[in-house]
C-alpha cells in the first residue's frame, strides 16, 4: 500500500489538555471547553471564529458534531465526530490534518474527549453491534495478557526476567507521571506494589493496567508555511500513517501474539514520509500506547526501537527511562496519565508538542528534535494503529 506525504506540509501551532483523572464535578462539555480554552488562549491573535472546521473524537461521550458545537456555541461551522476504538483522538487529528493539507481549510481544530467515570462500568465501556457469533469474547486485559507468555516462548525469556520487564514498564511510567501535574496517578511505585497487586488476567495485575479516567485535549493545525504567523515555536508533522487490520490474526494459526502487524506497517509508512531510516538512533522520545505493560514491551520492537527479542533487556537496562537513550512515555503514558479513550491520542500529541518546544519542565528531554506518537485500538490480532512523527524543525 502506498502512503505519501500530504500535498501541503502542516504544523501544530497550539494545544491544550486537561488533567486526566476522576472529574466527578465536570461534564464532557466542561472538559472540552477547558481544553479548547487552553489551546486557543495560548495564541493571542487567534479566536474560535478563526478556526474553519472542527473534529471531535469520542467513543461514548457524544453521537455527532454537536458534541463539540454545543459547549463551544459554534454556529455556521462544520464539526465532525469520529470514533476508531482507542485511537479515536488520533483519528480526529488525522482527519483535521488532511483537511488543511488538501487546501480545503486554512486553520482547523482537532479535539478528543471521554467521560468514563460517569458510566456504570469499572473499565472501558462499549456497545458492540450484532455479529455472526464468531468474534472472540474476551476482555481487554485477557487479550493483552497473552502477549507476555507468547513473548517468553518466542524468545526464550524466563518468567522472572519477563516479570521484571513488565514491572519496569509500570515503575518507569509512574515515575514519569509523578513529575506531571496533569497525570491521573502522581506517585512513584515500588517493585512490591506492582508485583503484589491483585491479579486481573494471566500474569497481569492491577498495576499492569492503564488507568480509567476522564479528560479532553485539543490541537490547532495550519499549513506549515503559515505557522510562524501565529507562534514562534510551531511543531511540524513529518510523517503520519494509520492502518486498520482485517482481524485475520485471530482467525489464523500464524498469529503468535508477539507483534502488532498494524503498528509495524503504520510505523514503516510514517518513517518513510519523515525520512527516518534508523528510528532507534534518530527519534528523541516516544509516546506509545501502554494500555498494559506487555504492550509497551512489544511496541518497542514493532516501532524499531529494539531488536526482536531484546526489548525486555533494553527496558531493564534503562534505555527507555527519562534519562535513557530514548525516553518513552515521558508524561506517564496511559499507565500513569490515564486513558479517556477519545482524548488519549491527542494527549500523546500534547506531550510531544510540549517536549519539542522545550516546555516539559522536570521531565524535559534535552535537545529533543523528533518525537513519535503511537496509538492503537482493538486487541492483539485485530487492531487499528496510528503512528506520527513530529519535529521541531520544518
Residue 291 appears among annotated catalytic residues: no
- Of the candidates 130, 208, 149, 215, the residue with the CA atom closest to the CA atom of residue 174: 208
DSSP letters for 355-382: HHTT--GGG--TT--EEEEEEEEEETTE
Of 23, 174, 289, 339, which one is the catalytic site residue? 339
**CA–CA separation, 90 vs 83, rounded Å?**
10
Give Cβ neighbours of residue 358 (< 8 Å, ≥ 6 apart): 364, 368
**CA–CA separation, 178 vs 187, rounded Å?**
5
Of 17, 23, 39, 86, which one is the catalytic site residue? 86
* β-strands 53-57, 107-115 pairing: parallel
CA distances from 103 to 112, 224, 237, 239, 332 (A): 23, 12, 16, 18, 36
Residue 8 appears among annotated catalytic residues: no
Burial 51-65 (b: 16+ CB within 10 A, else e): bbbbbbbbbbbbeeb
On whether the CB atoms of residues 59 and 88 are closer than 8 A, the answer is yes
Find the farthest-apart pair of alpha carbons in the chain and give their distance in angstroms, rounded: 60
* Cα R_g (the chain), whole angstroms: 20
- Of the candidates 389, 279, 274, 290, the residue with the CA atom closest to the CA atom of residue 337: 290
Which positions are catalytic?
Answer: 86, 339
Amino acid at each position: 500500500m502506498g502512503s505519501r506525504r500530504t500535498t501541503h506540509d502542516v504544523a501544530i501551532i497550539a494545544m491544550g489538555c486537561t488533567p486526566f483523572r476522576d472529574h466527578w464535578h465536570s461534564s464532557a462539555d466542561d472538559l472540552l471547553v477547558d481544553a479548547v480554552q487552553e489551546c486557543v488562549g495560548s495564541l493571542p491573535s487567534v479566536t474560535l471564529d478563526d478556526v474553519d472546521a472542527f473534529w471531535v473524537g469520542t467513543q461514548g461521550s457524544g453521537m455527532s458534531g454537536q458534541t463539540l458545537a454545543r459547549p463551544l456555541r459554534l454556529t455556521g461551522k462544520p464539526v465532525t465526530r469520529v470514533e476508531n476504538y482507542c485511537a479515536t483522538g488520533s483519528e480526529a487529528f488525522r482527519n483535521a490534518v488532511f483537511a488543511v493539507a488538501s487546501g480545503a481549510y486554512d486553520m482547523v481544530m482537532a479535539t478528543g474527549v471521554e467521560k468514563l467515570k460517569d458510566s456504570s462500568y469499572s473499565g472501558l465501556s462499549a456497545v458492540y453491534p450484532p455479529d455472526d457469533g464468531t468474534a472472540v469474547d474476551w476482555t481487554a486485559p485477557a487479550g493483552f495478557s497473552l502477549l507476555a507468555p507468547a513473548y517468553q516462548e518466542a524468545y526464550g525469556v524466563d518468567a522472572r526476567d519477563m516479570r521484571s520487564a513488565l514491572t519496569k514498564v509500570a515503575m518507569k511510567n509512574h515515575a514519569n507521571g509523578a513529575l506531571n501535574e496533569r497525570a491521573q496517578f502522581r506517585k512513584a511505585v515500588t517493585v512490591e506494589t506492582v508485583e503484589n497487586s491483585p491479579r486481573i488476567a494471566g500474569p497481569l495485575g492491577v498495576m499492569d493496567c492503564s488507568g480509567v479516567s476522564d479528560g479532553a485535549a485539543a490541537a490547532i493545525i495550519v499549513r506549515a508555511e503559515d505557522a510562524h504567523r501565529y507562534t514562534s515555536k510551531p511543531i511540524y508533522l513529518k510523517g503520519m500513517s494509520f492502518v486498520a487490520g482485517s482481524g485475520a490474526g485471530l482467525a489464523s494459526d500464524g498469529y503468535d501474539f508477539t507483534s502488532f502487524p498494524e503498528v509495524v506497517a503504520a510505523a514503516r509508512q510514517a518513517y518513510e514520509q519523515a525520512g527516518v531510516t534508523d528510528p532507534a538512533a534518530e527519534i528523541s522520545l516516544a509516546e506509545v500506547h501502554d494500555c498494559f505493560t506487555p504492550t509497551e514491551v512489544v511496541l518497542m520492537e514493532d516501532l524499531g526501537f529494539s531488536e526482536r527479542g531484546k526489548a525486555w533487556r533494553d527496558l531493564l537496562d534503562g534505555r527507555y527511562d527519562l534519562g535513557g537513550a530514548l525516553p518513552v512515555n515521558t508524561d506517564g503514558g496511559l499507565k500513569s496519565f490515564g486513558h479517556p479513550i477519545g482524548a488519549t491520542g491527542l494527549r500523546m500529541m500534547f506531550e510531544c508538542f510540549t517536549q519539542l518546544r522545550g516546555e516539559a519542565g522536570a521531565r524535559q528531554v534535552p535537545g529533543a528534535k523528533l518525537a513519535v506518537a503511537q496509538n492503537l485500538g482493538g486487541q492483539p490480532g485485530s487492531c487499528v494503529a496510528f503512528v506520527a512523527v513530529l519535529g521541531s524543525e520544518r
